[in-house]
Amino acid sequence: MKRSVTLIACVILAVLPAWAAEQDALALSANIQQRHLPYGLILDPVFASAESTALVGYARGGDAAIWTGHYLAAESFRYQVTHAPEALANIKRALTGLRLLVDVTGNNLLARCAFPVNWPYAQSVIQEEQRHGLYYRTLNGETYAWIGNTSRDQYSGVFFGLGVGLLLFPLPALP
């Protein structure tokens, strides 16, 4: 009897942290979806103050490619383990964002970041990232600003995400 109680206690102690970790991961994912993914690209939201949830801009647009690639890899791993439809939707959203980074350049190179010029937060990204080179292109009737001078770390992040996706989803099955 004592052995059974000990075994049950051990199982409970092992399962509770795993459940809590999953809940934390889902909360983080919801936060990313809500605040960090404009146009399918990972960007850092800027709030009015440390205590505020009022969004006033975005930062680190120059790193959108690398972090979107990592995000694609993470969601690919998540989908492989859970088969959660939300993970598949997140994969598709990240792929759309990465596709934008290639399409917006017009020459199949990778942009660091891209967004419509009429986006309410465009100026916050432009002010911070114009040192990388700011360019404009019209896609599907909408004018986009894009950040250039893409470094190899940005490409590495994108290739990492795409590589993980290809390993987990053979080409015909890619979303």
| pLDDT interval class at 12 (50, 70, 90) | low
**Distances, alpha carbon 12 to alpha carbons 6, 16, 22, 95, 146, in Å:** 10, 6, 15, 39, 51
C-alpha to C-alpha distance for 126 and 131, rounded to whole angstroms: 9
pLDDT greater than 50 at residue 10 = no
pLDDT given at position 168: 85
| pLDDT interval class at 65 (50, 70, 90) | very high
Q: What is the pTM of this model?
A: 0.84
**Distances, alpha carbon 45 to alpha carbons 50, 51, 113, 143, in Å:** 12, 14, 14, 22
Q: Convert the pLDDT of each residue in 139-165 to its tens digit.
A: 999 999 999 999 999 999 999 999 998
pLDDT greater than 90 at residue 29 = no
Question: Higher-confidence residue: 8 or 48?
Answer: 48
Torsion of CA 10, 14, 19, 25, to 10 degrees: 170
* Contact in structure between 43 and 125 (CB atoms under 8 Å): yes
